Amino acid sequence: MKYYILALSVLILDQVTKWLVVTKMNLNQQIPIIERVFYLTSHRNKGAAFGILQGQMWLFFIVTAFVVAFVVYYLTKYASQSKLLGVSLGLVLGGAIGNFIDRLFRGEVVDFIDVYIFTYDFAIFNVADMALVVGVGLLMIQIFLEDRNARESK
């Protein structure tokens, strides 16, 4: 249950921040938070990460439905065995649903976190994207740890 609460928290934070961007900023407006490092930039994305697969909404709906079903199954069946697995899946679930809601109701995803790494302008992203990336990263660590433990027990 606590991992569903994590997913819901991610979802709420994601949707509230996107709502603020949509209602308080003009499209493409940029607000410097830390000059030459971090900006809030109102951006829309009709594709996936880094703008790939523009306009392929049907594909995103199908993939998201499978991801959500997979995550709910694993949360229900295995999350009680590992906190790391539960947290990673909770983050993935919240992030996936957050971007799904945007695609369903807006026809595009609202992005606004704009980070410069030295002179490189990284792709603009949102809270759901962060949750997905961190969740998948933690899931990879979980898989690595399980694999290592399985080899050590042999």
Active site residues: 111, 129
Is residue 94 a contact partner of residue 72, using CB atoms and an 8 Å limit?
Answer: no
Is residue 138 a contact partner of residue 91, using CB atoms and an 8 Å limit?
Answer: yes
* Structure token digits, residue 119: 């002179």
5 burial type by CB count under 10 A (0-12 exposed, 13-18 middle, 19+ buried): exposed
* Structure token digits, residue 134: 């961190």
**Nearest to 10, CA basis, from 124, 102, 114, 93:** 93
Considering only CA atoms, give the Rg of the chain.
17
SS3 assignment, position 43: strand
SS3 assignment, position 85: helix
